[in-house]
Amino acid sequence: MGYGISAGKGIIWICMPYLNGAGTANVISWWGDPPKYQLQPTIDYCTATVKLICERYGGDSRKVILAGFSRGSIACNYIGLQNDQIASLWRGFICYANYDGLHAWPYPDDDRASAAKRLQRLGRRPQFICQEIVSKPKDALDVTRTYLKQAYPDGNLTFELIPFRNHNDAWTLRDIPSRRALRKWFAEALLAGMAGANDQPPPTFRLVPDGNKPAFELGPNQCRMASCYRDKAGTYHLFTDFMEKVPDSFGAEIRYYRSSDLRNWIFVDTVVKKGAGADADAFGAASPHVLATDKRIYLFYSGRSEPVGGRFDAYARPGQPGYAAGRILLATAAADEQGAPAGAFRKQGVLAEPGDGWDAMRLDDPCAVLEGDTVHLFFKGFDNNRNRDHVRVGYARAALAEMRFTKHSEPILAVPGGGEMPRVFREGGAWHMFYHHFGVGSTWRHHVSEDGLHWRLHDSSFFGGHLTGGPRDIMMIYGMNGTLLEEPEMLVAGSQDGINKLWLYYLRKKGAEGK
């Protein structure tokens, strides 16, 4: 099948086995051992093998296609989309002769409801779904097509009927229209969203200041991290850390301001106050990120719990005196017809907790991107605050209607020296992240991605910080539903006379000469 798809040119193809429950031997029926049919050994083996092939033999980790025949076709989704980590490996899928969720099988979660949840991890990545001519109507390609029309109507799916009754993959060795269709799909899937010979590369950007005067300040008190959006009527809504005189965001609360011109601001309310006792934000609430939809306003923020023993130590680790946990929390308010908050914000609780591995210490700096009905959540996580190499970018996703996030088990971006404050958006069919790198130069760099999970450095000198010095934070100003404005604007934190303030900048694409 691999040879038939690729013609043996320019492609590495491998056949991976299914492992038993102990991960010590191959199995010829399903995966794992009945009746549990354990998946994890096969998932671990598959993930490690893809990594090894790419590193040792020069495979491109951005161009990995998962293909399967019969049991393997079911496994494309059942195993290949089983969790966020393994799902992030694939650029596309070839499913031949069966499909996850169509029929009842002996392994757990074989039902259509479970299969539909796995499908949510597919996103807009393409699948080539094909089937031989069958004698049983329940196995026909049209049954698969009908099922997916209901289960995943917006999927990027291609269907192909193979003109043979043979339940094998020898048709891929024949020069027939079905193989030509598959090879065409395969070539397009590898190039989709990539910068090739006939594609435009992702744009690079620069920040242009709007004058020398700050756009927002709270003197003698302090602000720093902020998030802003413009509603349908053109009104700007700003949510910012509020700190009394000392710029320590661990004790902050979040205030809400409104403006028609990004210069003259009206205080509306303190929308997220500190909690009490064992609340996840009893010590402070900061790092806001706002996502405004037609019906609701979602305010993501970092909550800090009371320190162990009462006295905060920024370097204390879980269980040590002074440790304060950091979690990603949510508050929401109803939206009026213009997309402005229509009432008080109400706390909805914790969205993401520190794990027991790379992000065991704290989570911070949430950034949410809305794609259809899916919310992609990016954040800073770390397990060691003294070693900045350990400060990395994490990822979670949820359906907008439920807001129950599933965290990716591994960081999606780790850079030498560490970094913070991922600012993520979609533009021109690609994902973009402005990311503050620590270390020498301590500058903002621009990373790009085709899927939001695999990132590569695009511009190492995007922005060096505001000229007055102080904080180097940059914050996007969004439109409704988290989109970029027609003329994108950003707020940049800097310091003047010992007070943190926000300056207005315009986000511009660099010209062909890079100026």
- pLDDT by residue, tens only, the chain of 515 residues: 999 999 888 899 999 999 999 999 999 999 999 999 999 999 999 999 998 998 888 888 888 999 999 999 999 999 999 987 788 889 999 999 999 999 999 999 999 999 999 998 888 789 999 999 998 887 789 999 999 999 998 889 999 999 999 999 999 999 999 999 999 999 888 876 444 333 457 888 999 999 889 999 998 999 989 999 999 999 999 999 999 867 677 889 999 999 999 999 999 999 999 999 999 999 999 999 999 999 999 999 999 999 999 899 999 999 999 999 999 999 999 999 999 999 999 999 999 999 989 999 999 999 999 988 899 999 999 999 889 889 999 999 999 999 999 998 889 999 889 999 999 998 877 899 999 998 766 689 999 988 888 888 889 889 988 887 777 789 999 999 999 998 999 999 988 888 999 999 999 988 634 33
pLDDT of residue 489: 95
Question: Residue 322: what pLDDT?
Answer: 94
Peptide bond into 220 cis (omega under 30): yes
pLDDT at 198: 36
Q: Is 140 helix (H, G, I), strand (E, B) or coil?
A: coil
Give residue 456's pLDDT.
Answer: 85
Q: What are φ and ψ of residue 236, in 5° steps?
A: -95, 140
- Give CA–CA dist 22/411, Å, rounded: 27
Note the pLDDT of residue 441.
65
With CA atoms as reference, report the closest residue to 209 among 469, 443, 503, 475. 503
Q: Find the largest Cα–Cα distance for the chain.
A: 81
- Is the pTM higher than 0.85? The answer reads no
What pLDDT shows up at residue 208? 94
Per the CB < 8 A criterion, the answer to whether 264 and 277 are in contact is no
User: Would you state the pLDDT for residue 174?
Assistant: 94
Long-range CB contacts for residues 266-274, cutoff 8 Å, separation at least 24: 268/341, 269/344, 269/345, 270/242, 271/239, 271/299, 271/331, 271/333, 271/344, 271/345, 272/299, 272/301, 272/331, 272/345, 272/347
Q: What is the pLDDT of residue 193?
A: 47
Beta-carbon neighbour count of residue 65 at 10 Å? 22
pLDDT of residue 200: 56
pLDDT at 511: 64
Q: What is the pLDDT of residue 78?
A: 97
